[in-house]
A = this chain, B = another copy of it.
Amino acid sequence: MAVITGVEVIDVRFPTSRTADGSDAMNVDADYSAAYVELRTDAADATGAPLGGYGLTFTIGRGTDLVVEAARQQAQRLVGRDIDDLAADMGALYRDLSGDSQMRWLGPEKGVVHLSLAAVLNATWDLVARRAGKPLWRLLADYTPEQLVDVADLRYLSDALTREEAIEILRAQQPGKAERIAHLERDGYPVYTTSAGWLGYDDAKLRRLCQEAVDAGYGHVKLKVGANLDDDVRRLTVARDVIGPDRRLMIDANQVWDVPQAIAWTRALARFDPLWIEEPTSPDDVLGHAAVRRAVAPVGVATGEHCHNRVMFKQLFQAEAIDFCQLDTGRLASINEILAVLLLAQKFDVPVCPHAGGVGLCEMVQHVSVLDYVAVSGSLADRVTEYVDHLHEHFTDPCVVADTGAGTGYVLPHRPGYSTQMHPESVARFRFPDGAFWVDDGAISAQSPARPAVA
């Protein structure tokens, strides 16, 4: 018997706003942060080291403390639970943690309490995979179709996807699993880079980073747009000039437009042949995305990093609102809800290209994309997963992106878990507000809850 003996949830913030990393038209000063959950147990892993579970959700500064406190309250319910009992029925655990009706009122299934649930469940899935001695993608790929559907949250989806249909989708991909895994072992999972195109970078830095992306073998590059149309035209001209006509270019507006403006602006940039316009408007606007998509074709529409739950994705699919599904591993409630979205996407034939970047998202999405290919969709067509080259040095099992000869891709992760354990030194240094970085820096006020009032 192995039991969860304790939980700690930590507010970790990195000062990324100082270099304009992560800057876009909506988020001008993001300090990449995490509500980081550590589960402790009385067990050891195969190497004899203490067995733990490590998970997070991604935030961008102020308010991370709110998510931390919510996760602390939710995770308390894990203390004293038998790990193997949990592992045997992760669907029951999901329903237990998400079913607290008093906490549910604060969403439901959205906002702070859903982000925190993601962090807690991500840590639990990490623990369960470590206990099994497998990387999470492998643990899940080894499940039967019925076992996978048992952990998926299909509530509110039956008008679009029944349990029986979900099982059929998974059964159809049972043949060929081993071949697909071998393919990924050889070629990796296709990625694109956003590292070049943050809005706060000047043209010289943009040009240099685009060239570096080309040199590194990337076939796709993404740029932020939406603050100023003339600037966008100039920056896209630079990018196209460097990457040439054949590599794919994506643009991302981070929700700054109303629907009519999104249509006009995207049309004005269409001559740069973007593969997709990402987050053209409010992430809640299913019908708005559908209207944009109808108006800007053949430019595709992509969204999902702020799509707060499976019910919203269901509608994006039903309304034929998107060409690419960019689910987020810190915003959806972990594997349980992600599985539901992967299944819906397969039913509606929309490729899943997960959102990543931030802190730890790349570490997680590699597992999700691999699972999608191996067990759910069986396809790499039109799939390309985001990669941003920031902050991986803080993780004990960082994702690896390499040019495999078949293009640049995520190298298949092999170590047990969900790849989301941070180095204890990183956590100690960047925990907010008492980590050494923030104390030494003396810059707490810039991050403190009370922004200076506008004069």
Chain A residues at the B interface, C-beta cutoff of 8 Å: 26-31, 59-63, 65-67, 69-70, 72-73, 76-81, 96, 100-115, 155-159, 255, 258-261, 281-288, 291, 306, 308-309, 311-312, 314-315, 318-319, 449-451, 453-454
Of A308, A449, A450, the most chain B CB neighbours within 10 A belong to A449
Task: List 11 A-B residue pairs with CB atoms under 8 Å apart, sorted by A's residue number.
Answer: A59-B102, A61-B105, A62-B100, A65-B69, A81-B453, A106-B111, A156-B281, A158-B260, A282-B311, A285-B311, A288-B311
Q: Which B residues lie within 8 Å of A110 (CB)?
A: 107, 110-111, 284, 308
Q: Name the residue in A78, A260, A315 with the highest tally of chain B Cβ atoms < 10 Å from its Cβ.
A: A315
Given contacts A76-B450, A77-B453, A288-B311, 6 further A-B contacts (CB under 8 A): A59-B102, A63-B103, A96-B454, A100-B451, A111-B112, A158-B259
A155 touches B258 (CB 8 A): yes
4 nearest A-B residue pairs (beta carbon): A111-B111, A61-B102, A73-B449, A112-B112
Query: Which residues from B are CB-within-8-Å of A72?
Result: 449
Q: Chain B CB within 10 Å — which of A110, A309, A312 has the most?
A: A110
A108-B453 contact, Cβ under 8 Å, with A26-B101, A281-B156, A315-B286 = no
* A63 CA / B259 CA spacing, docked (Å): 35
Bound CA–CA A288/B101 (angstroms): 22
Residues of B within 8 A of A77 (CB): 450-451, 453-454
Tell whether A113 pairs with B28 under 8 Å between CB atoms, given A60-B101, A156-B285, A159-B259: no
Point out the residues of chain B lying under 8 angstroms from A259, CB to CB.
Answer: 156, 158-159
A69 and B67 in contact (CB under 8 A), knowing A108-B306, A111-B111, A115-B106?
no
Q: Give the complex CA separation of A201 and B304 in angstroms.
A: 42
Cα–Cα, bound, A101→B70 (Å): 20
In the complex, are the beta carbons of A30 and B63 less than 8 A apart? no
Q: Which residue of B lies closest to A75 (CB)?
A: B450
Contacts A113-B112, A114-B111; A27 near B101 (Cβ below 8 A): yes
A114 / chain B contacts, CB cutoff of 8 Å: 111
- For A30, the chain B residues whose CB sits under 8 A away are 101-102, 105
A113→B113 contact, CB < 8 A: no
B102, B156, B288: the one within 8 Å of A156 (CB): B288
Taking CB atoms, residues of chain B closer than 8 Å to A112 are: 66, 70, 106, 111-113
Closest to A158 in B: B258
**Chain B residues within an 8 Å CB radius of A306:** 108
What B residues does A79 contact at CB under 8 A?
453
Contacts of A69 on B, CB cut-off 8 Å? 65-66, 69
Contacts of A157 in B (CB 8 A): 258
A285 engages B76 (CB within 8 Å): no
Min CB–CB distance A210 → chain B (angstroms): 26
Contacts of A62 in B (CB 8 A): 73, 100, 102-103
Taking CB atoms, residues of chain B closer than 8 Å to A282 are 108-109, 156, 311
C-alpha spacing A81/B454, complex, angstroms: 9
Residues from chain B with a CB closer than 8 A to the CB of A106 are 59, 63, 66-67, 111-112, 115
Residues of B within 8 A of A450 (CB): 73, 76-77
CB-CB nearest in chain B for A162: B260
Q: In the complex the two chains form, what is the Cα distance from A309 to B111 in whole Å?
A: 12
| Complex Cα spacing A114 to B109, Å | 14
Chain B residues near A315 (CB-CB < 8 A): 284-288
Within 8 Å CB of A155, what residues of B?
258
Task: Find chain B residues with CB under 8 A from A115 CB.
Answer: 106
Bound complex: CA of A331 vs CA of B393, how far in Å?
40
Query: How far is it, in angstroms, between the C-alpha of A77 and the C-alpha of B106 when the chains are bound?
Result: 23
Given the complex, which residues of B lie within 8 Å of A78, measured CB to CB? Answer: 453
